[in-house]
């Protein structure tokens, strides 16, 4: 019997819209499906190579674009599940699959006959339509950047280095997750819980029960770690938690220190083999900011005015703490969140815990859906008939105001040991056209929000609300995407443009009209009071320079690793200390290390691109000012944003798309002004 008949990954889904048959997929299906997908893709490539007809867009570029249909399907499901609901078995499959995928990618990018055909279309693309020209250019450049111009000897070297890098990144990711899960703090004395919110104490009691422990257990998942550091009165416990979090995968059983160095040296080799000085030079060629100098100029443009303000903010918190009996001359890293919160409460009479009763997760989700309806005419219908990969997951059928199906939207909100930390949006399947028929995307939003407890629903923080809006903005980018070619649709844009749709959505979390449309006390039903909203808005820029410098710190660290032209002789801790010195606001902590758990740059798409978050903040600050000018629900502005940004994908240069929406180039001053750092 053909494996196609028994393997759900190798046959057409029988579900509406081709939804993933999660109820039928088992771990043993993945490896055979990957192998079959690679086999099919290679066969199509071989057909293109053997074609005796003159190369055209249709017989070369388009066939190559569509060559990996099965492979794309399998990879889209597997790698997303590996992040959201992993297991040792899935991690091992990833290790086995990685060299197969690398070998296939090199097979395509370094094939001289295939490259000559693509090059011929690229050099005679003037009569192609805009998206066809864009796709041809993207494939041509990806082949060049994938080693097509290398000698046969160097192609083999490139293939080996690419496989090595992929395996190192898998090892890094595995270690970071394992190190996060390895630590927990169990408390037996109720006095040690002083200062902690009741909801957090209840979660800790439930986690202790899950682990077969008495008392209260706290782990390093963000919904536990963040409030613990903000509210725990016992300084020694804050220090213990901070040091555990800040030293994840730095030393010990799951040490990533050597992995960081190996990833960096391998990237240098790859970049220089391809003719670039550094990995950053290689990456930035395809970004809005095209060079390392442009990135450093941008980071400096924000740091120079922000750093003195940030130092003033830290001093203000220290002065307040010392006035309240804090005996030290300096705030340590485990003190800042705690005393900053105390100062904020005193100065603004505001405690973020006051907000949680008004931010019940289900209400927030409905409000975000309603916002998408008001701005873009979208409707979200819960589909309980469609299978999901974990009981926590829900799936929605998204339609526009005409009833047109736009996407299936999967949401997965709560932390678990099998899920990596953080929040992200991704796709099980992108948007494309096949045989003249449009295939809409399967979009996924994953977070680690506060779980419901025995006595309370999931009550999220205002920060978590902004996170929801942020990831939902990415989701809208996929849901509203239009286009013929999968490589150019949804979020397949440059890293320093992809955060614009997400970060602009965060602004609504500070708008009175939006908040009062849904934020009601989960027990009394009372609408969130105006006074509380005024405090949210008043504190919006509280310590904004401090947080800006902290984010810039990550950007400088990223660039330091990826602008190396020869391998450093320093260890990871020494290198990091030197790279981040200019952004120092608090005393260093021995053993603390960002790099060894910095998955964004060592396993994700943000290597030499972490600055993108700040660059996108500039874009969104400038873009949202138009909403503020015309109205936050203004249909004309929303339609322009949809038409010029959300729907366009990579069909046109992002700088051109921004100018179409805003009428000019972005201005960094817009962000400094928004943050209150300059008037």
Within its chain, how far is the Cα of 546 from the centroid? 22
Give SS3 for 98. helix
Residues marked as catalytic: 471
Check: CB of residue 147 under 8 Å from CB of residue 282.
no
Which residues, other chains included, contact 77 with Cβ-Cβ below 8 Å and sequence gap of 6+? 9, 20, 25, 428
In this structure, the number of other CB atoms found within 10 A of the CB of residue 556 comes to 21
Sign of CA dihedral 228, 232, 238, 240: negative
From residue 230, alpha-carbon distances to 189, 333, 339, 353 in Å are: 20, 12, 8, 11
What is the DSSP code (8-state) at residue 439?
E
String of DSSP letters for 28-65: HHHHHHHHHHHHHHHHHHHHHHH--SPP-IIIIIIHHH
SS3 527: strand
* Residue 280 near residue 292 (C-beta atoms within 8 A): yes
| Largest separation between any pair of C-alpha atoms in the chain | 83
Give all strands (DSSP E) within 403-447, no chain letters: 405-412, 424-429, 432-434, 437-439, 442-446
Report the relative pairing of strands 405-412 and 442-446 from DSSP bridges: parallel
Provide long-range contacts, Cβ within 8 A and 24+ apart, for 519-522: 519/355, 519/358, 519/359, 519/363, 519/367, 520/358, 520/360, 520/363, 521/357, 521/358, 522/357, 522/358, 522/360, 522/363, 522/456, 522/457, 522/459
What length does the chain have?
679
Task: Give, as one character, the DSSP assignment of residue 520.
Answer: B
For strand 405-412 and strand 394-399, is the pairing parallel, antiparallel, or unpaired? Answer: antiparallel
Say how far apart CA 470 and CA 474 lie, in whole Å. Answer: 7
């Amino acid at each position: 019997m053909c494996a196609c008949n028994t393997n759900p990954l190798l046959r057409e889904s029988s579900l509406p819209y081709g939804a993933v048959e999660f109820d039928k997929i088992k771990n043993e299906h993945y490896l055979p499906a990957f192998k079959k997908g690679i086999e099919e893709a290679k066969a199509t490539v071989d057909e293109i190579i053997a074609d005796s007809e003159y190369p055209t867009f249709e017989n070369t570029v388009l066939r190559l674009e569509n060559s990996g249909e099965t492979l794309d399907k399998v990879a889209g499901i597997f790698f997303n599940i590996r992040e959201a609901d992993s297991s040792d078995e899935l991690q091992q499959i990833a290790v086995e699959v990685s060299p197969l995928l690398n070998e296939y990618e090199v097979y395509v990018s370094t094939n001289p006959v295939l490259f000559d055909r693509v090059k011929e279309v690229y050099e005679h693309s003037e009569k192609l339509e805009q998206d066809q020209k864009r796709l041809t250019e993207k494939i041509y450049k990806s082949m060049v950047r994938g080693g097509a111009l290398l000698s046969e000897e160097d192609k083999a070297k490139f293939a080996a280095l690419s496989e090595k890098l992929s395996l190192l990144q898998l090892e890094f990711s595995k270690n970071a997750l394992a190190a996060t899960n390895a630590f927990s703090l169990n408390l037996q004395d109720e006095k040690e819980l002083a200062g902690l919110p009741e909801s957090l104490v209840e979660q800790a009691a439930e986690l202790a029960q899950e682990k077969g422990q008495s008392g209260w257990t706290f782990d390093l998942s963000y919904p536990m770690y963040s409030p613990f550091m903000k509210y725990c009165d016992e300084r020694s416990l804050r220090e213990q938690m901070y040091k555990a979090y800040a030293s994840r995968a730095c030393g010990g059983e799951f040490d990533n220190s050597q992995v960081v160095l190996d990833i960096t040296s391998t990237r240098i080799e790859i970049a220089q083999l391809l003719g670039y000085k550094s990995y950053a030079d290689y990456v930035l060629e395809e970004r809005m900011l095209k060079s390392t100098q442009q990135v450093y100029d941008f980071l400096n443009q924000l740091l120079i005015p922000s750093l003195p303000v940030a130092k003033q903010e830290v001093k203000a918190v220290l002065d307040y703490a010392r006035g309240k009996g804090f005996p030290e001359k300096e705030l340590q890293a485990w003190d800042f969140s705690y005393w900053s919160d105390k100062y904020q409460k005193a100065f603004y009479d505001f405690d973020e815990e006051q907000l949680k009763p008004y931010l019940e997760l289900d209400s927030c989700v409905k409000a975000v859906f309603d916002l998408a309806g008001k701005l873009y005419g979208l409707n979200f219908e819960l589909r309980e008939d469609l299978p999901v990969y974990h009981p926590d997951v829900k799936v929605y059928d998204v339609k526009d105001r005409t009833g047109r199906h736009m996407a299936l939207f999967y949401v997965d909100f709560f932390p678990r040991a099998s899920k990596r930390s953080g929040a992200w949006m991704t796709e099980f399947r992108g948007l494309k056209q096949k045989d003249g028929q449009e295939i809409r995307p399967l979009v996924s939003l994953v977070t680690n929000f506060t779980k419901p407890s025995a006595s309370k629903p999931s009550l999220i923080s205002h920060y978590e609300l902004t996170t929801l809006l942020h990831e939902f903005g990415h989701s809208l980018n996929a849901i509203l995407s239009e286009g013929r070619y999968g490589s150019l649709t949804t979020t397949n844009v440059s890293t320093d443009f992809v955060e614009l749709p997400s970060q602009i959505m965060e602004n609504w979390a500070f708008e009175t009209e939006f908040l009062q449309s849904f934020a009601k006390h989960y027990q009394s039903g009372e609408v969130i009071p105006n006074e509380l909203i005024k405090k949210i808005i008043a504190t919006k820029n509280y310590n904004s320079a401090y947080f800006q410098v902290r984010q810039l710190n990550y950007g400088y660290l990223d660039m330091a690793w990826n602008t190396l032209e020869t391998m450093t002789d320093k260890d990871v801790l020494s290198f990091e200390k030197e790279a981040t010195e200019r952004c120092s606001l608090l005393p260093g902590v021995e053993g603390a290390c960002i790099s060894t758990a910095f998955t964004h740059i060592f396993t994700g798409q943000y290597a030499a691109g972490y600055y993108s978050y700040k660059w996108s903040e500039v874009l969104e600050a400038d873009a949202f000012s138009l909403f503020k000018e015309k109205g936050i629900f203004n249909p004309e502005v929303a339609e322009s944003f949809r038409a010029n940004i959300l729907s366009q994908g990579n069909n046109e240069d992002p700088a051109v798309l921004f100018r179409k929406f805003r009428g000019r180039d972005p201005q960094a001053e817009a962000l400094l002004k928004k943050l209150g750092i300059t008037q």
